[in-house]
Chains A and B, each alone.
Chain A
């Protein structure tokens, strides 16, 4: 797993207070990890801060799973 993926996972575990084993790439924040809409906004803000990237509103809306987050941040970092 990439460094970015590790860090994303850690943020999700910390923020949502879920078991690390549940944070699989396919896991949906809302459906599988028990997040509400406010959690997802806070998660996006935590990603922005941790990775020093800006995630605009329309992109943030499409980040619904752990993999979505990792892919988006990896793309930003590669650019």
Chain B
């Protein structure tokens, strides 16, 4: 179950905590994995650490042309057509709406929503022709709940859910699935730095009483990437310890 032998996957944002855990998990299950990120040195090092069957392709996804060509680049370095696309890359530009500049809005919508669309569109071409493929878009619990100071990020992540449902309907007849994983609060240097009182309050809102680990997200991605999930499409898998039950 859940083996990915012979499959080729691309993970964007692979230099981050969640992205690298996804890459490691897919690789451990037998997939060839192409790591993508803006920091070439970091993804190269991670690819070397994973060893055989791991590749890297740097890309700056805020550039539309780089997003459009990343799929072809990944297939070239891996030497195989793409079976699995994980749109994990994203950024935040948090500030209250009153202070949010168009630039903050546009940058987040561009990288967190338009770039994943461009990657889906490019991946679709081959996947639809081959009658197989898995796309997993990484959203956020914030797309469901909203969050003060994150109007741009919440819009992008909620948009990703609607986009994925539409793409799932377009590609279903070809056996290509499109799903979303929506992580809640995951342990990162940022959550580590929270004051103790705030940490306690956060934990009190999570029925499973701990923050998430990057591996919790990676396991959900693995399921949706596997053959076992072949009858699941257009859905959002919430990985948030029960904090929000959508």
Contacts and interface: CB of A to CB of B under 8 A. Distances in A.
B170 to A, nearest CB: 7
Interface in B140-178: 170, 173-174
Q: Classify chain A: how many residues form its interface, as a range.
A: under 10
B128 A36 contact: no
A45 B125 CA distance: 10
A42 interface: yes
A36 B173 contact: yes
Contacts, number: 8
A42 B176 CA distance: 15
A29 to B, nearest CB: 15
Interface string A25-66: 000000000001010001001000000000000000000000
A24 to B, nearest CB: 25
A45 B174 CA distance: 17
B201 interface: no
A18 B245 CA distance: 48
Contacts of B174: 38
Q: Classify chain B: how many residues form its interface, as a range.
A: under 10
Nearest to B125: A45
Interface in B220-241: none
Contacts of A36: 173
A42 B173 contact: no
Contacts of B173: 36, 38
B69 to A, nearest CB: 16
Contacts of A42: 128-129
Interface string B163-201: 000000010011000000000000000000000000000
A42 B131 CA distance: 13
Most chain B Cβ neighbours within 10 Å, of A36, A38, A45: A38
A30 to B, nearest CB: 14
Nearest to A15: B129
A39 B210 CA distance: 48
B109 to A, nearest CB: 24
A42 B174 CA distance: 12
Contacts of A45: 125
B121 to A, nearest CB: 11
Interface in B115-133: 125, 128-129
Contacts of A38: 128, 170, 173-174
B134 to A, nearest CB: 18
A38 B129 CA distance: 10
A38 B125 CA distance: 11
Contacts of B129: 42
A44 to B, nearest CB: 13
Nearest to B171: A38
Nearest to A36: B173
Given A42-B128, A42-B129, 6 more contacts: A36-B173, A38-B128, A38-B170, A38-B173, A38-B174, A45-B125
Interface of B: 125, 128-129, 170, 173-174
